[in-house]
Structure 1
């Protein structure tokens, strides 16, 4: 998939650049589950994690948790104000 490719199933602006399958592969390789991301983000609803990964939502807590856990930013399609932050 090229850098300009979009997620045709996403409904949110930045979420359209998210790579859900790469995020899920990354999580699987680290034996992380959505509940782990929800816990790290401090949220109770795993559905928010799922929607954010798939690009249907842009929950900043979830995106920050994924980023802090080491998920490559190029997979996340981050909003401009979250890009490059450490």
Structure 2
């Protein structure tokens, strides 16, 4: 296993997600999972699982990407990279 693999995640794109880099970015902007939940309109558990890589909710990932979260930390699914 390499250091770039997210041991908290499942398989697929989320496996390479960097949750702690995402959380640092969120903290620097005063953004919480609850804020994302409210803005995207889904449950906080889905937001959390997406950040930590065990889910790939495209609405959460698109929101984070559009707000300026570093794309390398998000490890977006192939269809969202364009």
**TM-score of the superposition, structure 1-length normalised?**
0.87
Give CA deviations for 1:41-73 in whole Å, capped at 9, x if unaligned: 222x10100000000100001101111111011
Give CA deviations for 1:14-38 in whole Å, capped at 9, x if unaligned: 0001000000000000000001111
> Which residue is equivalent to 2:59?
61
* Aligned residue pairs, count: 81
Residue 34 (str. 1) matches residue 2 (str. 2): no
CA root-mean-square deviation = 1.5
Contact 1:12-1:58 at 8 Å conserved across structures: no
Structure 1: where are the runs of 5+ without partners? none
Q: Give, in whole Å, the separation in 2 of the partners of 1:74 and 1:42.
A: 25
> Which residue is equivalent to 1:13?
12
> Which residue is equivalent to 2:44?
46
- Quote how far apart the aligned CAs of 1:40 are: 2.2
- Quote how far apart the aligned CAs of 1:6 are: 1.2
Structure 2: where are the runs of 5+ without partners? none
- Quote how far apart the aligned CAs of 1:12 are: 3.0
Contact 1:18-1:53 at 8 Å conserved across structures: yes
